[in-house]
């Protein structure tokens, strides 16, 4: 089996094809809700019930969604190249339900709750509904396990370390506009190949000479690339 460190960096465009609403598109969630009302720590302090209701709805949508062809292809990639890791901006569990492992969630996980005083003290939530007022074993209020705007991204250093080890990087479903996650490419070795799967025409900036652009949506482009990589490096 060919030894290659592959890092897959996924964003909202992957989950969108499973029917989950994105935040930044023209008809996205931020067109319907103000960030300041549901996705900042100040919002949580000001109106925690609204935040709980907002993420309960997101969680219900997540549990009703199913992994799509992109998620399944990434799982196939991991089986062919065991040293493959996933870094995701998505808060859903579709990678997990597709059978993938070694997943670093940068922005939290919708299926978990966290302590209000410890950003990494999490507990699983059964079902879709959080009840405001429930408490963590440390005594603090439980809140959605989401990295709110303006908060520290606790697993970003872990993601940087993973990216720094890549022989090949696949970027799919992200606009590369959300920082600090967008700066992950800065940590990818210059010798590493970078593939970006995006149906549009992103501005690759200083990376344009290193990027191979596959102009397809995730559910088409990811299976195509995975098939190519397996045929090139595994089916020798």
pLDDT tens, residue by residue, 52-68: 999 999 999 999 999 99
Which pLDDT score, from 0 to 100, does residue 72 have? 98
More confident residue, 106 or 181: 106
Q: Are 92 and 67 in contact (CB under 8 A)?
A: no
Lowest average pLDDT, out of 70-79, 96-105, 148-157, goes to: 148-157
The backbone torsions φ and ψ at residue 150, rounded to the nearest 5 degrees and listed phi first, read 90, -10
For 76, other C-beta atoms within 10 Å of its C-beta total 18
Q: Tell me the catalytic residues.
A: 107
Give me the sign of the Cα torsion angle 202, 28, 41, 124.
negative
Residues 198-209: tens digit of each pLDDT = 999 887 888 888
For 122, other C-beta atoms within 10 Å of its C-beta total 17
pTM of the model: 0.93
- Asked if residue 102 has pLDDT above 60, the reply is yes
What is the β-pairing status of strands 122-124 and 108-115?
Answer: antiparallel
Domains present along the chain, CATH in parentheses: 1-20+67-107+151-236 (3.40.50.1220), 22-64+110-146 (3.30.1600.10)
Give the residue from 149, 143, 129 showing the smallest Cα distance to 59.
129
β strands within the chain, DSSP E: 6-10, 84-88, 103-105, 108-115, 122-124, 142-146, 168-172, 193-197, 211-214
Q: State both tokens at 176.
A: 């590369």
């Amino acid at each position: 089996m060919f030894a290659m460190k592959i890092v897959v960096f996924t964003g909202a465009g992957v989950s969108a094809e499973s029917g989950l609403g994105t935040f930044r598109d023209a008809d996205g969630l931020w067109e319907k809700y103000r960030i300041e009302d549901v996705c900042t720590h100040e919002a949580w302090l000001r109106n925690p019930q609204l935040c709980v209701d907002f993420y309960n709805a997101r969680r219900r949508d997540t549990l009703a969604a199913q992994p799509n062809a992109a998620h399944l292809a990434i799982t196939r990639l991991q089986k062919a190249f065991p040293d493959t890791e996933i870094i995701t901006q998505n808060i859903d569990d579709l990678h997990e339900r597709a059978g993938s492992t070694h997943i670093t969630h940068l922005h939290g996980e919708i299926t978990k709750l966290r302590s209000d005083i410890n950003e990494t003290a999490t507990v699983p939530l059964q079902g879709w509904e959080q009840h405001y007022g429930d408490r963590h074993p440390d005594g603090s209020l439980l809140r959605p396990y989401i990295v709110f705007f303006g908060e520290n991204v606790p697993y970003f250093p872990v993601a940087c370390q993973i990216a720094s080890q890549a022989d090949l990087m696949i970027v799919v479903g992200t606009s590369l506009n959300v920082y600090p996650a967008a700066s992950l490419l800065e940590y990818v070795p210059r010798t590493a190949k970078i593939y970006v799967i995006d149906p549009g025409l992103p501005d690759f900036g200083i990376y344009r000479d290193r990027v191979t652009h596959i102009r397809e949506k995730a559910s088409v482009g990811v299976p195509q690339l995975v098939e190519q990589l397996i045929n090139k490096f595994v089916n020798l």
